[in-house]
Structure 1
Amino acid sequence: EGGGGGLSKIIADYRVSAESLSSLAERGISEFFPIQWMSFDLLYDKHDLIGRARTGQGKTLAFSLPIIERLLAKGLIKPHAKKRVPLVLVLLPTRELSIQVAKEFEALAHDRYATLCVYGGAPELPQVQALQKGVDVVVGTPGRIIDMLERKALKVEKL
């Protein structure tokens, strides 16, 4: 495919939608940190990546933005369709990190897709109901993800 920003730090030079650019601008973000510009095209083009950066260097945005932008560009996300199954599953070791990552996906959403955060210690029923209604992105901890799979509430065939 191609069409990425290469070595540019300017987010607008990448395959990023106007809605996401606006959302990022509202948060004062117009340039990428190194982990973000080095990984964007690779992740957008569906390559595996292992990346490392210090706290506060934007690792969450580094993987969430290219994934969402690709799905939106390909027309795979249908925001108003009912009973849709997740297209993205993010597995994280702790509840706190799951909540943080889910918030990043939600900040980019602009009502274009639905995110659900699932983790132990929270009531299961609302999480199951949200999955039945339909979500595009599921973020969660291993234990609760396994619970949802065992209950057949979480469908993974479209990941």
Structure 2
Amino acid sequence: MSKKIVAFLPILLATTTYAQSAADTGKRSPVRTLTYQQYQALLKGEANEDMARVAEMNHYPLPEKVLKYKYELDLSPIQVKKLTEAKDYLHRRRLQIGGSIIDTEHMLDSMFRYNKVQDGNLIFYTNRYGLYQGELKNAFLQACLSTRNLLSQQQMKKYESLEKRK
């Protein structure tokens, strides 16, 4: 083996080991820079729940959380329909954007792994990654805004008291 490969091998192994931590239950992600759990969450549209934190902290709940209490909150059929639509739209966006994030992670990994990194393509893909993060945050916050606008003040108070009991 050449000296370059021997010198690079420990770095490659450390990166792979980091991304494939013990918490991964022995399964490997197809994208080396993502753990199996991160990859699965992005693939299934379940990642980045914390993107709604700013809204939730300020009394703008996620639609799926409100729907859990549809009977306790006495939601009307129209409210249930609109909340379900908001929840479904958010899930679709999470799937779309999650796939884009996976593709971008894979591209960045390939660029570095095969020593094909150039300033221009690095700027392009990292800006693209930031764009996806912004789109995802917007999707979460839009869902929270529409949820809040659908609920009466009494329903919001009841929702918050139910959430505190959890």
Q: TM-score, normalised by structure 2?
A: 0.24
Q: Which has the higher strand share?
A: 1
Q: Which has the higher helix share?
A: 2
Higher relative contact order (CA 8 A, sep 6+): 2
